[in-house]
Structure formats: structure tokens, C-alpha cells
Copies of this chain bind each other. A is one copy, B any other.
Amino acid sequence: MNDTNRQWLLVRRPQGPITPDCFRLDETVIPEIGDGEILVRNHYLSLDPYMRGRLDAGKSYAVPQKLDEVMQGGTVGEVVASRNPAFAVGDKVLAMFGWQLYGKSDGNAVMKLDADRIPIQAYLGRVGMPGITGWYGLNRIIEPREGETVVVSAASGAVGSVVGQLARLKGCRVVGIAGGSEKCRAVVEEFGFDACVDYKAGKLHADLKAAAPDGVDGYFDNVGGEVLDAVLGRMNTFGRIAICGLISGYDGGAMPINEFRSLLINRLKVQGFIVSDHMSMWPQARSELLELAASGTLRYRESVVQGIEAAPEALMGLLKGRNFGKQLVRLID
């Protein structure tokens, strides 16, 4: 147990892509706990694309991160001190303690985890927010039927890899879109997609047509931009598109959509969503995902960087697609 807390603060908002000078790493004392409170040593910090939106002051789907405060983020860790009868020292918990080694709480919004069935960092990925995001968009917006073709962008990521595997379990033909041949190979060989299109190969339209010869019935979009345009041009009548992320536009560049008329021609439903709007679904989704993950049916990849120092660089890499699967920061030695 360290004798100091370390925490990353946001000290300036990025103009375009994030730069390292947006953050400052501070050393502070480990907080004292009062009656009813717990102290948690965080083991893993989750890095997620939504964090980019929070760095801007303007309107995003996420509430802005405040300047000179600890960067927000999901964490899993272990209770190291407790004056709350609901928690014992040694309990493993999920919380939003942010980019720091220690978190203090009255127990609200802290969830105790069953660490015997699955490593606790799974609750930041396939059994956590990213997995539930995929579950919701697929089951509640795309609502795929057996035999339909479902396309997923950022297919090797924490969300996309879950979407594709769930769609395969429903009997769909599943096509991933990912950046680079290595990711594409893993999408097919590890995650079991029927095909994967490498958008960096320079022939997105032709490759998508070959991979989805019967057109596209459902599209789970994490990226927007030209990838979205290409899929719009391949949608079947009455197709459904879940807009989960528009990562290609997160740095503030223009992102025109040219194939919008496909919505009318093909009578598409296109729906943006944020999983935190649908908390009532989380228990069902998490329970289903936990079963699939614990049994090994649901495959995954993690990119883990070591030490809290590495968090800003890892977030920058995530936004450029340098990660592979769920991006985590390991906060213990």
C-alpha cells in the first residue's frame, strides 16, 4: 500500500486532438474516511472513447469534465478500509473513482463484485459498460433476426467485439469493420465473425460489398464518417442502425454524411443512444453477459498499460485506434 494517492487532473481543454499538456499528475494524501465511508485501492482504470467528449466544454452526450478536477472514469479495486457495514476490507468493487490510485465513498454507486467467476477487470469491459452498450444497441435498437446480416465498426474493440459475438449467437451473418489486417484477422479467428473489412486497405466499398453480399440489415456504428457512409450505401430495406459512437469526429473535424438519402430510400431507422440512459436494462444485460463470459463463450481482448503515469498516452492511443480490445490501465504492481 502506497502512502500517497496519485491522480490525474484535467488542466486544459484540448483544441482538436488531445495533447499531454491537457493533464497534470498530482500527488496527494490518501483520504481519511469518516463514519459510513469506505476507502478503495483501485486496481484497474477503464479508458473509453466517451471520455473525449467530456473534455470539451460544449454540448456532448457526456457532462463536461471540470477543469482542475480528477479525471472521471470507471475503476475496479479492493476495499482497504471500511466504516460502512455493507462493505468489508477485501471486498472487490466497481465504482467511478476516476484516474487515481485511491477512492473514497459512502458506498453509493459502488457495486460489490463476485471475483470468483471472472477477473474483476471484466466488469470494466465485456461484463461492464462496454458490453452492456453492445447488448443494448443490438437487442433494443437493431433487434436482429436469424439470417440477417449485421455489420459492426470498431469490431475489435470492447463494444464491437461483444456486439458481433451476440449477433452470431442469434444466427446472424456478422461482418466486422476494423483498422488493419491484424485486427481483422483476430475479429474473424478469435471473435468468430463471418468476415472483417479492413477500412485502412483503401477499398472499403468493394470489400464491404463482398463481405455482405446480401446487403446489411443491422449496423452498429462506433465511428461515423466515411465508414458510416459506406454502410449506408449497402443497407437493405427496413434496416436499423444503432449510433453508439462517432469516434472519427471526436476531435472536432467536420464529418459530413453524404448517403443520408438511404434513410428514405430504404426506410431505415437510425437511433443514437447512450447506455447510461437505460439503467433499468443493466441487471438483465450484465447477467446475460456474465454467463457468456464466465463460460468462455464470450471471447475478448484487452490492451493493458502499466501504471497510472501511462493513462493520458493510452487514452490518446485509444482515440487513434492503437488499442486492441478493451483498454485498461493497471494501477497495482
Query: Interface of A with B (CB < 8 Å)?
Result: 59-61, 224, 228, 243-246, 249, 254-258, 260-261, 263-274, 277
Contact = CB atoms under 8 A, between A and B. Distances in A.
Contacts of A243: 263-264
Given A224-B260, A265-B272, 12 more contacts: A60-B265, A61-B266, A224-B261, A246-B260, A256-B256, A256-B258, A263-B271, A264-B272, A266-B272, A267-B274, A269-B270, A270-B271
A263 B263 CA distance: 13
Contacts of A268: 271-272
A261 B271 contact: no
Contact of A261 (B255, B261, B267): B255
A267 B260 contact: no
A208 to B, nearest CB: 17
User: Interface centre among A246, A258, A261, A269, by most B CB within 10 Å?
Assistant: A261
Does more than half of chain A's interface fall in helix, strand or loop, or is it mixed? loop
Contacts of A255: 258, 260-261
A225 to B, nearest CB: 9
A269 B267 contact: no
State the number of copies, please: 2
Given A256-B257, A256-B258, A59 B265 contact: yes
A27 B256 CA distance: 49
A255 to B, nearest CB: 7
Contacts of A273: 267
A271 B272 contact: no
Nearest to A264: B272
A61 B261 CA distance: 10
